[in-house]
Structure 1
Amino acid sequence: MSSRNRLAGRFGRGASPLGLLALVGKVAAAALVAGAAQAGAPTATKLKSAPAAPPTPIIAVSDTYHGITASDPYRWLENAADPKVHQWSLAQDQRTRKYIDRLPSRAPIFKWLMQQAAASSSAYYGLQTAGEQVFAMYNQPPKQQPMIAVMGQDLDPAKVRIVLDPNQISAQGTTAIDWFVPSPTGELVAVSLSDNGSEDGSVHIFDVKSGQQVDAVIPRVQYPTGGGSLAWRADGSGFWYTQYPGADQPAERQHFYQQVFYHRIGDDPKQDVYVLGKDFPKVAEIFLDNHPNSTAVLATVANGDGGEFAHYVIQQGGAIRQVTRFEDQVVATVIGPDDALYLVSRKDAPRGKLLKLKSGDYQLAHAQAIVAQSDAVMQSGGNLGSSAIVVTPRAIYLNELVGGPSRVAIYDHDGKPQGMLPLPDVATVNEVEALGNGALVYSIGTYLKPSYFARYDEKSGKGAVTKLVQTSPVNFDDTEVVREFATSKDGTKIPLNIVRRKGVKLDGNNPLLLNGYGGYGVSQTPHFLGAATRLWLDGGGVFVSVNLRGGGEFGEEWHQQGMLTRKQNVFDDFIAAGQYLVQQKYTSRARMASIGGSNGGLLMGAVLTQQPRLFRAVVSQVGLYDMLRVELDPNGAFNVTEFGSVKNPDQFKALYAYSPYHHVVDGARYPAILMATGETDGRVNPMHSRKMIARLQAATGSDRPVYLSINSHAGHGIGSSLSIRINQTADVYSFLFDQLGMKFPAK
C-alpha cells in the first residue's frame, strides 16, 4: 500500500513477506510430507545437543460460543505482562537462536545479504510535490532507517538535500518515520515518528531549510489500529490531523475512536479544535488529503478493514459536507484542480466505474458516470491513497489492475480515453505524482529489475526514465517469470507467478518456495525480487507468488470470495497452487516450502493444519492463529469487517472451521516450522504466535523442529531497522536451506 501520508499499510496490508524476500531490492506455513522415509526427502542438520522445547504448562480453559465449546489450553500465554510468559518467550527465542546460529549457511547468508545491501543504490519513494520542490522518502543503505529528502522538479538526485535523518535521532535505528506531509509551499514538513517498530507516532514539525524542529509535538496521531494522517491549510498556517483518545481514557478506548482536530502553528496543542469523528464507528480509519487541491480537505473514513468507505469534504471556512456513505460503495475519491470530485464507485460495477461531481455539488445522486467498468480493475484509495486517481488541469489518470500487473489509463475530464502511460510488460505502478508543471512522475516496478521513476510530459504524450533509478548488485539476466494457472477446489482459476532460472528442469527435484497473502483486497503485484530471491535461485530454487482470492487483483468480487464466511476459498486456492506445482514437476512435496506473514501467516497456519502432508517446511511471520479471540485486541476489532465476529453465528462457524490453533491434532506429523513475531507488534498480538507454537510443539508427531523467534525491538516489521530485517531474512533462508537440504551457493 502506498498512500500519500501513510507510508505503511494496516494490519495485514503491506505485511506480506514479499517485502522480506525483496529485502535488498526494496524497502513472510504449510505442511510437511509425513516422515523422512519418502524418496528424495532432504536431510536436515542434526545438531548434537539440540535443546528440547521449553516446558509449557497446560491450564485448562474453555469458552462456549453458540452451543459449541472451544478449548484453549494455553490462554495463560496471552498475558505478556506475566513474568512467566516473558521467561517462556525468552527460552523459546534462545532455543531458536541455538539452532539457527549453528547452521552452516547462516553466517555466509547474513554476510552476503549485508554486502548486497551495502552495495545497493539509494532508493526514493513516497514522492510528494510542494511548491517548486519534490519531497521523498530516501533509503540509503547501509543506514538503518529511511530519511526524508527534498529535490527540485528536475528530480536530480545529485541535488538532493536531507530534511530529516532519524538515524541521527537513534543510532541503533529504533526511531522510524511513519509518514510525512510537506506544507503547500514546502517550507515546513509534518512528520509522524515512532520507536521500536511500534508505529505509535507523534507529529513533529520541521523547518525544511534549517532542518530544525519548530512548534509543539502533538501526541497520539498514529497507531497501527487506524493509522494516522494530516492535511495542511492552504497558507501553511495550520493543519488538520487525526488523534486517538488520551491516556486519561479507559484502556479499551485508547486505540479506537479516531477523530480529526485542527492545529494552528504556534498554539498549544491542548487548545486544538475538534473538527470531525465523534459519530464515526469505533473502528474508523481516517485518511486526510488535500493534494493537489488545497482549498478543501477530503476525509476518507474506512469502516475497519473490510473495504467500506465514507467521504467528507472539510472546507477551509470550517463547513463539513458528507459526500458518500459506507453503503454507497465508493472506494476512492479525489478533489481535482477544477474543484470537481472524482470518485471510483463499485456499485453495480465490481471492477469500478468513475463518477464526477461538479464543483460545489456534494450530492452523490447528481454524479455523472464518465468512465464505465472495463476488463481492468480501478484501484481503491485503500490500496494506493490518492495515487488511485490523479487529476491534472489537462487529464485524469486512473491506476488499474489487470490480474496482478497494473497500468495507468489516461482520460480527459469528460472521460474520453487518451491512451496509457508508457510501461514495460508485466509491471506495476504504485505512485503517480503530478509535478505541477505539465508533467507527471510515476514509479515502475517489475520482478527482475529494480524500481525506477519515469516522467510523462502531458503536452507531448512522451515518457522518459528519470535519474531516480535504483541499482542493485544482483541481476536476473538468467531468470524468467512465467504465469500459469492452478484450478482451485471450486473450479476457480488461480494465477501463479513463477520465478525460475531459464532452462530449469521440471523433474520434481527443485526446492520451491510458495508465497501467498489473500486478504483485504490487497493485490500481489510485480516488484523487484532482490537479493534474497537471487540467493534462493542460486541455491537451485524456484520462487512462486500466488494471486489468491481475498486480494483485489480481479476486483471486489475476487476480494469478497475470500472474506468473511468465504475465507476458506483462500486456503483452498493456496493448496491447489501447491498441488499444481507438484503435478507439473516443478518440485515435490519433499522439496517444497511455504512462507507468509500477517494475514499470510493465518494462511500458513490454516494450510498447515488442513494439509499437513503438502509442504516440507513452513515460515510464518507475525501471523494470526486463534481466530476466536482476534477481535478482543484493539487492532483485531478493525478486522471484523474482513474476518467476521464470533458474535455472529454464521461467522463464528466459519472462523472456528479454519482457526489454526483449534485444529492442531495430537500426533499429526507436522512439517518443520519457523514462526517469528515482535514484542512491540500493534497489528497482530504476539500471543497468537506464542499459543500456536506451544500447541504445535506439544502435538507434533514428526521429528521436524518447531521454532519460535521473538524480537523485543521489532513490531509487525514496519519501521524495523535494516540490521533487524537482514538478520530476520538470514534466519529464514538458513532455516529453509537446512530443511530442504540446500547449500549456500559459492559467491
Structure 2
Amino acid sequence: MLRRTLTAIALTLPLALAAAPVLAQSAPDPSMTAPADAEDPYLWLEEVEGERAMAWVEDQNTRSLGVLTGDPRYQDLHDQALAILEARDRIPSPGFRRLGGVERIDNFWQDADHVRGIWRTTTVDSYATDNPVWETVLDVDALSEAEGANWVYRGSNCLPPDGRMCLISLSDGGKDAVTVREFDRETRQFVEGGITLPESKGGVSWIDADTLLVSRDFGEGSLTDSGYPRTVRLMTRGQAIADAPVVFEGETTDVSVSGFTLRDADGVVQAVLLNRGINFYESETWQLNADGTTRQLQLPLKGGITALVDGQLIVTTDQDWTAPSGQEFKTGDVLAYDLAAWLADPTVQAQLVIRPGPREAIEGITATRNRLVVALFENVRGAVYVYDPSDWSRTRLDLPENVTVGVGSSSSLDDRLFVSVAGYLNPQSLWLVDAATGEGGVIKSLPAKFDAEGLEVRQFEAVSADGTRIPYFVVGRSDMPMDGSNPTLLYGYGGFQVSMLPGYSATVGKLWLERGGVYVVANTRGGGEFGPNWHQSAQGQNRQRAHEDFQAVALDLIERGITSQPHLGIMGGSQGGLFMGAMLTQRPDLINAAVIQVPLFDMLRFHKLLAGASWIAEYGNPDIAEEREWIAAYSPYQNLRAGQPYPEVFIHTSTKDDRVHPGHARKAAARLEELGYEVLFYENTDGGHAAGANLRETARRLALEYTYLTRRLMD
C-alpha cells in the first residue's frame, strides 16, 4: 500500500453471587492527584539512561522478577511460550520479490537457531511445497556476532524492477531509529563503499540506481517537534548526505515529511511524490517535477493514495470531501482516477469504487498486475473482493466465512496474491489465489497449537454510556458456568483506527484458554472496526467515549455472569496501556488485575516525550487550556489517588522504546507505590516498542504476564 499507514505509537442477568458490588466512581479529590509538571517528583524517571533512573529500574526488576519467576508455574509457562515462538511449523510469511526478472518468494525467519533472524529466499514453486528449499540472503545473528552489535532487522527496500540492489534497515536493540546500508542481493554482501545512512528515524526511497529521496535527521533544525524528519533531500550516489540538496521542507509543527515513488507493475516511475504529514491523520501530497519544482496534488487531507493498478490511481478518503471536479464523496469512500489524465488536469471526474455501509470497514487494499483487491469486513467478519478496473465490477473470493482475512503480498507479473485466513479457534491458513480468475486454494496451514476441544467463539454487544452498541468477542468453553467464576482476560486498544480483528494466538490459547481462562476482545470506538467514523467519534475531546465503551464491556461480562470482579483482568499496550490506566483510575471496582504494556500514562506530558507530539491529532494538545482540561480528566497519572480499590498491577516497558517513552510506565509505578499500592514493574533493557528484541525476550515477557494473571485471577 502506498498510503501512509497508521502506526499506533504499530502484528461482549443479574450480577452473579460471586461478583463484587459495582460501584460508581467518585470525582477525584484534587489534593490526592498527581502533581503538575513543575511539581512532579518523578521527572527524573524520564531520563531514559540516567544513572538514578536505571538504578531504580534495576531495583524494580530484581523485586518483580523475584516474585514472578519464583512462582512455581512460571517456568512451565515460559517453556511453552518459547516452544511456540521457536516452532518451525509456523507459516513462513511470504513476499513476492523479483530478482533479475524472475519472481521469487522472500521471508524473514526466526527460531531457536536464528534468534535475531534470517532473510531468506526460495522459488514460488518450492514455497508451495511442504519443504521449501531456502537460501539465506542475510543472517542477522551472524552479522550481530561479527560486528559485536544487537541488530534487529527492520526490513529491506529493493530497487524495482530487477530487485538486486537493496537498502537494509537495522535497529540497535529494537529502536525505531535505524541505520541503512546498501546490500547486493546477488552477491549477498553489503556493498563496499555503497550507500550508508547513519542511525535516524525517517525513510529512504529509490528513484533510480543512483538517486534517492532521503528523509533523516540532518542535524539542528532538521526535525519536527515529534522528532521525525522535517526535510527531504535528493541524494545521488557518492554524494555526502550533508551536500544533498533539500527538495522539500515541512513545518516544525508537522509530524514528518517523506518521499516515495509511484511505480507501475513493471517498476516504471510514474511520479515522484512527497508527503507532508501535517498531523497523524492529515497530510498533503506533492509532486516533485524533473526541474526540481514541486506542486501540491489535490487530494483529501484525511486519506490519500492507496494503490496504482492498470493506470488507475486508487484514493481513499477518511473525511467527507469535495473533489476539484465538484464531486461529493463520503467518509470511507474509495475512488479511482485515470492517473495520466488526473496529473494533467486535477478537475477530471473520479469514479466511485466502494462506499462501505454503516457496519462495514475496509481493512486492506492491494493491487495485483490487473486487479484491485480489498479486504472488506462486515460486523468484524471479513471477506475479500476483487475489482476489475475496466468497469469496477466486483467478485467475491471463495474463502471461509466468519473469520479474519488479510490480503498479503501480490505479484507484479500476474494476478496472484496471498490471502491469510484465521479465527480465534482457527489456525492460520495461507491461500494463493488468482485474483483475475478466482482460482486457487490453501497452500499452507498451521496445525493447532492448543487444545480447542469444547471451546467456542461468541459475539455479544454491550451498551455504552451514550447508548452506542459495542461489539465484543468471547472465547471460552461452550459449557462455562455463568456464575461469575470464570477467570477472564479482557483485551482492548481503542485508538488510531486500529481494528481488533479475530485472530489465532497460539500463546493466548496455550497459556490461558487451555488452562480454563476466558479471552475477550472489545471492539470499542477509537478503532476502525466500522470505518473512519468509528475512530473519529472517540478522538480528542471525545476520547472518554472509548474508555466508557471498554467499561461497558466489562460491566456486560459481569452482568451476563461470564465473570466477576475477583476473576476479571484487563490487558493492553501502548495506546491500549492508556486504556488500562483509564480503567484502573475510573473503574477499579470492576477488575482484579491489569497488565499495562509499554503504556502512555502521563497524558499531560505525552507530547513532550519522544514521538508524542505526533499523536496530538489523536488526543489533543495539553498546551491548549481547553484541550488540557479534557485530557486531564482521564490522564491516568494525574488521576491516581489514595484509598481506591486498585488491584496489584503489572506494568512493563522497554528502555530501548524510542516511540512511547519508558518514563510513562516508570512514573506510573513510582506514583502507585508512593500511594501505598502493590505494583509489579519490569523493564526490558532492549526490545524497542514491542518490548522483545528476540524470541527469548518475548517468551519471558509472555511468561511473566500469564504468571501474574494466574496469581490474580485463577488462584
TM-score class normalised by the smaller sequence: 0.7 to 0.9
8 Å Cα contact 2:257/2:275 also seen in 1: yes
Matched to 1:113, the amino acid is A
After alignment, is 283-292 or 660-669 more displaced?
Answer: 283-292
- Name the residue aligned to 1:722: 695
- Structure 2 SS opposite 1:726: helix
8 Å Cα contact 2:6/2:496 also seen in 1: no
In the TM superposition, what is the alpha-carbon distance from 1:404 to its structure 2 partner?
Answer: 2.9
In the alignment, is the contact (CA less than 8 A) between 2:94 and 2:409 conserved in 1?
A: no
CA distance in 2, matches of 1:718, 1:415: 47
- How big is the shift at 1:217? 4.6
Q: For residue 322 of structure 1, what is the amino acid of its counterpart?
A: Q
2:643 to 667, 686, 709: 667
Q: 2:140 aligns with which of 161, 166, 186?
A: 166
Q: Is 2:317 aligned against 1:341?
A: no
Find the counterpart in structure 1 of residue 28 from structure 2: none
Partner of 2:337: 356
Q: Separation in 1 of the partners of 2:454 and 2:247?
A: 56
- How does 1:308-387 map onto structure 2 within 5 Å? 308-314=282-288, 320-324=294-298, 328-338=301-311, 340-348=312-320, 349-362=330-343, 364-375=346-357
Assess if the C-alpha contact under 8 Å between 1:257 and 1:281 holds in 2. no
Q: Which residue of 1 aligns with 2:29?
A: none
Query: Equivalent residue for 2:118?
Result: 147
Question: Aligned-pair distance for 1:603?
Answer: 0.4
Distance apart, 1:534 and its partner CA? 2.4
What is the alpha-carbon distance in structure 2 between the residues aligned to residue 461 and residue 415 of structure 1?
17
Matched letter for residue 308 of structure 2: I
Identify the residue that residue 72 of structure 1 maps to in structure 2.
40
Change (3 A) 1:284 1:377: farther
Matching residue of 2:249:
277
Contact 2:217 2:223 in 1 (8 A): no
Distance of 2:387 and 2:411 partners within structure 1: 15
* 1:361 partner letter: W
* 1:261 maps to 2:261: no
Q: Which runs of 5+ in 1 are unaligned?
A: 20-32, 42-57, 64-69, 743-747
| Contact 1:345/1:355 (<8 A) preserved | no
Following the alignment from structure 2 to structure 1, what is the Cα–Cα distance between the partners of residues 593 and 424?
25
Q: Aligned pair in 2 of structure 1 residues 579, 150: CA closer, same or farther (>3 Å)? A: same
The residue number in structure 2 matching 1:303 is 277
Structure 1 CA distance, aligned partners of 2:64 and 2:648?
A: 13
- 1:239, CA displacement in angstroms? 3.4
Q: Relative to structure 2, which stretch is displaced further, 435-444 or 505-514? A: 435-444
Match among 666, 675, 680 for residue 656 of structure 2: 680
Q: Does 1:552 align with 2:549?
A: no
Secondary structure of residue in 1 paired with 2:286: strand
Q: Closer, same or farther in 2 for the Cα pair 1:199/1:307, shift >3 Å?
A: same
Does the aligned pair in 1 maintain the 2:692–2:698 contact within 8 Å?
no
Q: Distance in 1 between matches of 2:562 and 2:33?
A: 45
2:53 match: secondary structure: helix
Offset of 1:60 from its aligned partner? 9.8
Asked whether 1:706 is paired with 2:679, we answer yes
What code does the residue aligned with 1:369 have? Q
Residue 285 of structure 2 aligns with an amino acid whose one-letter code is H
Distance 1:615 1:121, change over 3 A: same
Contact 1:669–1:700, Cα closer than 8 Å, also in 2: no
1:126 and 1:255 mapped to 2: Cα distance?
33
Do 2:106 and 2:121's aligned partners in 1 also have CA atoms closer than 8 Å? yes
Pick the aligned partner of 2:467 from 491, 504, 528.
491
Matching of residue 619 in structure 1 with residue 602 in structure 2: no
Residue identity over aligned pairs, in percent, reads 26
Q: Tell me, in whole angstroms, the C-alpha distance in 2 between the residues paired with 1:194 and 1:10.
A: 17
Q: Secondary structure at the match of 2:475?
A: strand
Equivalent residue pairs, number: 677
What residue is the counterpart of 2:61 in the other structure?
A: 93
1:242 equivalent in alignment to 2:220? no
In the other structure, the counterpart of 2:323 is: none
1:541-582 Cα distance to aligned partner (Å, 9 max, x none)? 000111111111111111111111100011100000011011
The 3-state SS of whatever aligns with 2:132 is helix
Match of 1:634 among 610, 624, 627: 610
Aligned mates of 2:437, 2:507 — CA distance in 1: 38
Map 1:640-659 → 2, pairs under 5 A: 640-659=616-635
- In the alignment, the residues of structure 2 paired with residue 316 and residue 527 of structure 1 have an alpha-carbon distance, to the nearest angstrom, of 46
How far does residue 401 in structure 1 lie from its aligned partner after superposition? 3.2
* Match in the other structure for 1:514: 490
1:434 aligns with 2:411: yes
Q: What SS does the aligned partner of 1:91 have? A: helix
Q: CA deviation at 1:708?
A: 1.0
Looking at structure 1, the residues matched to 375 and 232 of structure 2 have their Cα atoms a distance apart, in angstroms, of 28
> What do the CA deviations read for 1:432-490 (whole angstroms, capped 9, x no partner)?
413412322333333233434322224432121234x4445435354322211111111
Name the structure 2 match of 1:10: 7
Q: Which residue matches 2:324?
A: none
For residues 582 and 616 of structure 1, what CA distance do their matches in structure 2 show? 13
TM-score, structure 1 normalization: 0.83
Q: Give the 3 Å change call, closer, same or farther, for CA 639–194 of structure 1 in structure 2.
A: same
SS of 2:437's equivalent in the other structure is coil
Alpha-carbon deviation of 1:607?
A: 0.8
1:396 corresponds to 2:372: yes
Amino acid at match of 2:232: V
Q: How far does the alpha carbon of each residue in 1:217-243 deviate from its partner, in whole angstroms, 9 at most, with x for none?
A: 5335752xxxx4443335x44433332
Cα displacement (A) at 1:257 = 3.2
Q: Aligned partners of 2:226, 2:533: CA distance in 1, in Å?
A: 34
Alpha-carbon offset, residue 61 of structure 1: 6.1
Say whether 1:199 aligns with 2:196.
no
Two-structure CA RMSD over aligned residues (Å): 3.1
CA distance in 2, matches of 1:723, 1:525: 27
Q: What amino acid sits opposite 2:197 in the alignment?
A: P
Point out the more displaced range, 669-678 or 167-176.
167-176
Instruction: Give SS of 1:723's match.
Output: helix
Change (3 A) 1:249 1:418: closer
Match of 2:665, SS state, is helix
Change (3 A) 1:59 1:459: closer
**What is the CA deviation profile of residues 686-713 of structure 1, one whole-angstrom value per residue up to 9, with x for unaligned ones?**
1111111111112246xxx311111112
Q: Return closer, same or farther for 1:355/1:416 CA change in 2, 3 Å cut-off.
A: closer
Q: Does 1:189 align with 2:166?
A: yes
Match of 2:477 among 495, 501, 514: 501
Q: Which has the higher contact order (CA 8 A, sep 6+)?
A: 1
| Alignment partner, residue 389 of structure 2 | 413
Q: Which residue of 2 aligns with 1:22?
A: none
**Structure 2 stretches lacking a partner, 5+ long:** 21-31, 321-329
SS at the partner of 2:194?
strand
CA distance in 1, matches of 2:180, 2:465: 48
Which residue matches 1:53?
Answer: none
Residues 122 and 133, structure 2, Cα contact 8 Å, conserved in 1: yes
Residue 218, structure 1, aligned to residue 193, structure 2:
no
Tell me if 1:461 matches 2:438: yes
Residue 204 of structure 1 contacts residue 217 of structure 1 at CA under 8 Å; is this kept in 2? yes
Q: Deviation per CA, 1:595-624, whole angstroms, max 9, x where unpaired?
A: 000000000001100011110111001101
Q: 1:83 to 1:461 in 2, by over 3 A?
A: closer
Partner Cα distance (1:147, 1:158) in 2: 15
- Alignment partner of 1:735 out of 673, 689, 708: 708
How far apart are 1:531 and its partner, in Å?
A: 2.5
Q: Does the 8 Å CA contact 1:296/1:314 hold for their aligned counterparts?
A: no
* Alpha-carbon offset, residue 359 of structure 1: 1.4
- Of 85-94 and 441-450, more deviation after overlay is shown by 441-450
With normalisation by structure 2, the TM-score equals 0.87
Maintained 8 Å contact 1:668/1:700: no
